[in-house]
Amino acid sequence: MAERGRPRSFDRQAALERAMDVFWERGYQAAAMSDLTEAMGINSPSLYAAFGSKEELYRAAIHHFAATESDDILAPLQSEPTARAAIEGYLMASARIFTRPGRPPGCMVVLSAVNAVGVGDETSRLLREMRAGSVTMIEERLQRAIAEGELPAALDPHPIAGYYVTVQQGMSIQARDGASRQTLETIAQGAMAAWDGLTRPRAVAREPALMPR
Amino acid sequence: MAERGRPRSFDRQAALERAMDVFWERGYQAAAMSDLTEAMGINSPSLYAAFGSKEELYRAAIHHFAATESDDILAPLQSEPTARAAIEGYLMASARIFTRPGRPPGCMVVLSAVNAVGVGDETSRLLREMRAGSVTMIEERLQRAIAEGELPAALDPHPIAGYYVTVQQGMSIQARDGASRQTLETIAQGAMAAWDGLTRPRAVAREPALMPR
DNA sequence: CCATTTTTATAACGATCGATACACAATCGA
DNA sequence: TCGATTGTGTATCGATCGTTATAAAAATGG
């Protein structure tokens, strides 16, 4: 069962984490191979043997980001008892994660490849699906709240989820501009001020809470 | 008064607009000199003679963007009679400008250099000041509404302005992901649902509308 | 017409980009 | 111990990056 050949002299997972930090901070295009190999403590042939290419390494870093940072942000959607607390927790967790000391500010999935140029179709699709995945998760949480009677049955979860994800993505930009955790938390509270208006039951087909899908 | 030497064979302003489109769509780093010269219809020596360098051309493009697109977005802040209509107009104008057919989606100032790497300090500062300028303009509009008695005197305009600018920046990300004008308008309406909660007068120092600056 | 000035197109500069060829080192099974 | 296999370090590949040297072209003033 033992591996054949010369064993790898570096920790693949640790090197991936260092690569993630480089992509996270500099973005995909601005992250040069020399930046990556220096941060990972290896030479480029080792990088290519272990990860395939720069873009494959980037995708691996995105998946690692999703398995660590993203999960911390999305956890409140499952753990909080009410839909309102779930979304508030989602935004407040974002404020905390986006301003962790010593870590790049904002969300890697949102910031590291906003301009899809220079990145392949597969990677572009992966990023877009991940961003859309947040909308789906919030949507499902709202749907659950409707099923449990917390929210009115006539409510359309999709535009509400889209609104809160948009706020969270704006918070990434703000974090990149130097906004503090406190500032981001204030923004999150501002977004929650829309909750009652968005979820209040109202006469159907006369004044919809939010318009189209 | 006539110019000496061989006259320039291209329209400087028209070339600048085409360069703006390239930076807007691809971002600063991904916009190669060959992309720019091809779009502008000139050779690189002409570009350098007319604009100095790639980064100076980028700054000129940013200023041109501010003088055209940005002004359309910020106009409702001055023209609308109430603070609420002003901010709603700001968001609805953003939804329209961000999804103009045949134009790059989203805001160039927000999207074209999110990762400040590879761009000089002067350009980085210019972009950050422009983003902060939107907050200031909204803040001043809210302050005017307070002076006119439309909003309670105890209100702090700064966090409210920060909240709405954050939503607008999130709308840029959404536009880049393919959101339609209608979708962005729905998000804008969602953000306006927070208005009453954010501007309602309340007991001072007990439950502040939004926390710190 | 000629000297001067500015722009033009061609061609190429050094630097850096992502990616590899190559020879050597280190492990395995037999 | 030896062939097979895999990883490592060096050195470099062709392509492209932003930028510029050079000389011809097109205007001016005198």
Give the model confidence (pLDDT) of A76-94 as tens digits: 999 999 999 999 999 999 9
pLDDT of residue B117: 84
Q: Is the pTM of this model over 0.95?
A: no
C1’ C11 / CA B45, Å: 12
Query: DSSP class of residue B9?
Result: S
pLDDT of residue B2: 64
Spell out which residues of chain A touch residue B173, defining contact as CB-CB under 8 Å: 110, 114, 131, 166, 169-170, 172-173
State percent of chain A over pLDDT 90. 90
Give the model confidence (pLDDT) of B179-200 as tens digits: 999 999 999 999 999 999 999 9
Say whether A30 and B160 touch across the interface (CB within 8 A). Answer: no
Say whether B173 and A166 touch across the interface (CB within 8 A). Answer: yes
Q: Which residue is nearest to nucleotide C21 (CA to C1')?
A: A45
Of B160, B174, B190, the CB nearest to A210: B190
C1’ D23 / CA B6, Å: 15
Query: How many angstroms separate the CA atoms of B201 and B111, rounded?
Result: 36
Q: What is the mean pLDDT of chain A?
A: 94
pLDDT above 70 for B204: no
What are the two backbone dihedrals, phi and then psi, of residue A155, each rounded to the nearest 5 degrees?
A: -70, 140
Spell out which residues of chain A touch residue B196, defining contact as CB-CB under 8 Å: 197
Give the model confidence (pLDDT) of B11-54 as tens digits: 999 999 999 999 999 999 999 999 999 999 999 999 999 999 99
Q: Under a CB-based contact definition with an 8 Å cutoff, are residues B147 and B70 in contact?
A: no
Query: How many angstroms separate the CA atoms of A71 and A130, rounded?
Result: 12
B192: closest CA among A92, A21, A211?
Answer: A211
- A197 in contact with chain B, both atoms CB, cutoff 8 A: yes
C1’ C10 / CA B48, Å: 16
What are the two backbone dihedrals, phi and then psi, of residue A190, each rounded to the nearest 5 degrees?
A: -60, -40
Q: What is the mean pLDDT of chain B?
A: 94
pLDDT of residue A211: 53
- The tokens describing A105, both together, are 């500010």
Residues 135-174, chain B, touching A (beta carbon < 8 A) = 159-160, 162-163, 165-174
Total H helices, total E strands in chain B: 11, 0
Q: For residue B43, is it left (φ>0), alpha (ψ between -120 and 50) or beta?
A: beta
Amino acid at A57: L
C1’ D8 / CA A11, Å: 14
Query: How many angstroms separate the CA atoms of B43 and B47, rounded?
Result: 7
pLDDT of residue B16: 98
- A110 in contact with chain B, both atoms CB, cutoff 8 A: yes
- The tokens describing A56, both together, are 């494959």
Q: Under a CB-based contact definition with an 8 Å cutoff, are residues A148 and A179 in contact?
A: no
Query: How many angstroms separate the CA atoms of B213 and B211, rounded?
Result: 7
Give the model confidence (pLDDT) of B64-77 as tens digits: 999 999 999 999 99
- The tokens describing B151, both together, are 């909003």
C1’ D4 / CA A8, Å: 17
Q: Which residues contact B56 (CB under 8 A, 6 or more apart)?
A: none
Grade residue B201 by pLDDT with cuts at 50, 70 and 90: confident
Give the model confidence (pLDDT) of B113-126 as tens digits: 998 888 999 999 99
Query: How many angstroms separate the CA atoms of B166 and B192, rounded?
Result: 13
pLDDT of residue B23: 98
Give the model confidence (pLDDT) of B126-140 as tens digits: 999 999 999 999 999
Q: Which residue is nearest to nucleotide C28 (CA to C1')?
A: A4
pLDDT above 80 for A183: yes
Of B162, B170, B178, the CB nearest to A169: B170
pLDDT of residue B210: 58
Spell out which residues of chain A touch residue B182, defining contact as CB-CB under 8 Å: 211-212
Give the model confidence (pLDDT) of B142-163 as tens digits: 999 999 999 999 999 999 999 9
Of A117, A177, A187, the CB nearest to B128: A177
Does strand C come within 7 Å of the CB of B213? no
- The tokens describing B212, both together, are 């710190």
Does strand C come within 7 Å of the CB of B194? no
Does strand C come within 7 Å of the CB of B12? no
State percent of chain B over pLDDT 70. 93
Query: How many angstroms separate the CA atoms of B167 and B90, rounded?
Result: 11
Q: Can you tell me which residue has the tokens 């050779």?
A: B43
A-B C-beta contacts closer than 8 Å: 157
- B109 in contact with chain A, both atoms CB, cutoff 8 A: no
Distance of CA A34 to the CA centre of its chain: 26
Residue B64 buriedness (CB in 10 A; 0-12 / 13-18 / 19+): middle
- The tokens describing A186, both together, are 């204030």
Spell out which residues of chain A touch residue B29, defining contact as CB-CB under 8 Å: 27, 29-30
pLDDT of residue B213: 47
Nucleotide nearest to A10 (CA to C1'): D7
- A177 in contact with chain B, both atoms CB, cutoff 8 A: yes
Q: Under a CB-based contact definition with an 8 Å cutoff, are residues A79 and A160 in contact?
A: no
- The tokens describing B182, both together, are 């209608």
Q: Which residues contact B20 (CB under 8 A, 6 or more apart)?
A: B61, B64, B65, B108
Grade residue A144 by pLDDT with cuts at 50, 70 and 90: very high
Give the model confidence (pLDDT) of A97-112 as tens digits: 999 999 999 999 999 9
